[in-house]
C-alpha cells in the first residue's frame, strides 16, 4: 500500500477521525483507542449498542502492555505463538483504556493483526486502534473494501483498500481474566491449535444480553434476506418450489436443481478456504434480492467452528422453516 495513503490515514486517526482498514480477518472501523470522543463516533456510525465492547489493535507485545494487564501465565505463550494473527486476548484493563472501549467492563480485548497495512497504520498513528468490523451493526461483516463502502459510505473519513481479507472471519477471542482460559468467540485461530499450546479451554456460557467481547450478541452477522441453516438431507423441497432460494454450501450440492443461485465456499471442502470466502459469498447472495437463503451446515472442526458460529447468529430469532 502506498506510504502516502498510510500517512494520510494515520493523520486522520490522530486527529480523532475514523479509518476503515484491512486486517487478515475482516475490515475494521478504527479510531484512536485513547480518544473517547472518536471511539464514540464508531458506535454512532455503526449503530452499535454501547454495551458491546471493542478490540484494541496494537503493534506488538510491548504496546499491548499499555492497555491491558498481560500477567496471566498463558498470555505470553499465546502471544508468542499466535501474534500477529487472528487471536484476541481479554485481560484486565489499564487506566489509560477509556471505559467506552470496554463497554464499562474491567477487562479489555487486545490483539496484534497480521495484515501489513494494519500494522503500518498502527505504527504510523502512534497509538492503539480501537476497531470493530466496518459494517452496520449486526449485518454481514466486510471482507472487501466495497462492503464497507456499501454499508457505511461517506460516514467513514477514509477507506484503505487492500483487496480481500485472507482469513475472512473475525478473530478468536479468549478470556484470560479468570482462573481458567475461556473461549468467548470462535474465529480465525482454530481452537484445537490454542489448546495445543495451553491445554483445555472452557467453552462459552456467556449472556448475549451483556457481552464480554464483540460477536456475542445472539443475532449477528445477519443478511437482509432471511437465512435458514440446515442440511441437504433435511431441506424441505417446498422451499425450492414456492420461493426463489439462494444456497450457501461448503461443496457443490448433490441436487443443485431448483436453487436460484448457489455459492460454493470451497470446491475441495477446505475449511480455511471456506472461512475466507464466507462473508463475500453471503454479501453476493444478499444482493440478489431473493425470497430466502439456505446454508448447509459444515463440520465443526478447525475453522468450521467459526463458520457455524457466524451462521447460527445470522439465523437467530428467525422461524425454522426447513425442519
In a domain, 64, yes or no: yes
Q: Give residue 106's pLDDT.
A: 96
In a domain, 221, yes or no: no
Domain harbouring 144, CATH code:
3.90.870.10
Q: Are residues 64 and 151 in the same domain?
A: yes
Q: Are residues 277 and 143 in the same domain?
A: no
In a domain, 290, yes or no: yes
Classify 50 as helix, strand or coil: coil
Q: Are residues 64 and 158 in the same domain?
A: yes
In a domain, 261, yes or no: yes
Q: Are residues 37 and 141 in the same domain?
A: yes
- Per-residue pLDDT at 321 exceeds 60: no
In a domain, 300, yes or no: yes
Pair 166, 278: CB distance under 8 Å:
no
Lowest mean pLDDT among 175-179, 184-188, 214-218, 314-318: 214-218
Grid cell listed for 264: 460454493
Pair 281, 248: CB distance under 8 Å:
yes
Q: Are residues 191 and 301 in the same domain?
A: no
Total residues belonging to the chain: 323
In a domain, 81, yes or no: yes
Distance CA(248)–CA(165), nearest Å, equals 19
Q: Are residues 129 and 56 in the same domain?
A: yes
In a domain, 323, yes or no: no
- Per-residue pLDDT at 200 exceeds 70: yes
Q: Are residues 170 and 239 in the same domain?
A: no
The widest CA-to-CA distance across the chain, in whole angstroms, is 59
In a domain, 222, yes or no: no
90 or 323, which is more confident: 90
Q: Are residues 156 and 233 in the same domain?
A: no
Distance CA(121)–CA(141), nearest Å, equals 21
* Over residues 290-310, mean pLDDT: 96
Confidence of residue 242 (pLDDT cuts 50, 70, 90): confident
Q: Give residue 2's pLDDT.
A: 85
Domain boundary among 183, 198, 213: 198
Q: Give residue 207's pLDDT.
A: 59
- Per-residue pLDDT at 204 exceeds 60: yes
Phi, psi dihedral angles at 94 (to 5 degrees)? -105, 160
Q: Are residues 132 and 279 in the same domain?
A: no
Q: Give residue 208's pLDDT.
A: 59
* Over residues 109-123, mean pLDDT: 98
Q: Give residue 298's pLDDT.
A: 97
Q: Are residues 45 and 178 in the same domain?
A: yes
Q: Are residues 170 and 264 in the same domain?
A: no
Q: Give residue 319's pLDDT.
A: 47
CA distances from 79 to 61, 119, 234, 235 (A): 7, 16, 42, 43
pLDDT tens, residue by residue, 267-282:
999 999 999 999 999 9
Q: Are residues 193 and 233 in the same domain?
A: no
Q: Give residue 206's pLDDT.
A: 59
Residue 234's domain spans which residues? 227-315
Q: Give residue 222's pLDDT.
A: 85
Domain count, the chain: 2
pLDDT tens, residue by residue, 58-89:
999 999 999 999 999 899 999 999 999 999 99
Amino acid at each position: 500500500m502506498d506510504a502516502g495513503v498510510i500517512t494520510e490515514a494515520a493523520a486522520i486517526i490522530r486527529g480523532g477521525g475514523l479509518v476503515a482498514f484491512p486486517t487478515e480477518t475482516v475490515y475494521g472501523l478504527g479510531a484512536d483507542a485513547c480518544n473517547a470522543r472518536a471511539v464514540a463516533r464508531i458506535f454512532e456510525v455503526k449503530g452499535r449498542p454501547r454495551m458491546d465492547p471493542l478490540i484494541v489493535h496494537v503493534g506488538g507485545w510491548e504496546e499491548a502492555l499499555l492497555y491491558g494487564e498481560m500477567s496471566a501465565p498463558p498470555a505470553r505463550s499465546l502471544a508468542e505463538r499466535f501474534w500477529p494473527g487472528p487471536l484476541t486476548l481479554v485481560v484486565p484493563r489499564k487506566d489509560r483504556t477509556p471505559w467506552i472501549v470496554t463497554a464499562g467492563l474491567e477487562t479489555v480485548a487486545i490483539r496484534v493483526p497480521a495484515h501489513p497495512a494494519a500494522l503500518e497504520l498502527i505504527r504510523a498513528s502512534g497509538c492503539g486502534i480501537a476497531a470493530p468490523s466496518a459494517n452496520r451493526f449486526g449485518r454481514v461483516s466486510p471482507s472487501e473494501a466495497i462492503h464497507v463502502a456499501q454499508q457505511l459510505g461517506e460516514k467513514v473519513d477514509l477507506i484503505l483498500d487492500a483487496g480481500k481479507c485472507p482469513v475472512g472471519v473475525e478473530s478468536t477471542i479468549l478470556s484470560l481474566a479468570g482462573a481458567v482460559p475461556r473461549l468467548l468467540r470462535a474465529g480465525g485461530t482454530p481452537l484445537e491449535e490454542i489448546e495445543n499450546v495451553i491445554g483445555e479451554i472452557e467453552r462459552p456460557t456467556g449472556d448475549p444480553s451483556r457481552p464480554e467481547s464483540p460477536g456475542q450478541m445472539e443475532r449477528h452477522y445477519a443478511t437482509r434476506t432471511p437465512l435458514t441453516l440446515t442440511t441437504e438431507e433435511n431441506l424441505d423441497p417446498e422451499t425450492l418450489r414456492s420461493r426463489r432460494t439462494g444456497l450457501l454450501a461448503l461443496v457443490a450440492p448433490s441436487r443443485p436443481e431448483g436453487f436460484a443461485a448457489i455459492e460454493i465456499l470451497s470446491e475441495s471442502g477446505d475449511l480455511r478456504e471456506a472461512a475466507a470466502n464466507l462473508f463475500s459469498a453471503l454479501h453476493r447472495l444478499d444482493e440478489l434480492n431473493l425470497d430466502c437463503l439456505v446454508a448447509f451446515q459444515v463440520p465443526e472442526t478447525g475453522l468450521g467452528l467459526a463458520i457455524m458460529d457466524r451462521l447460527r447468529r445470522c439465523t437467530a430469532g428467525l422461524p425454522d422453516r426447513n425442519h
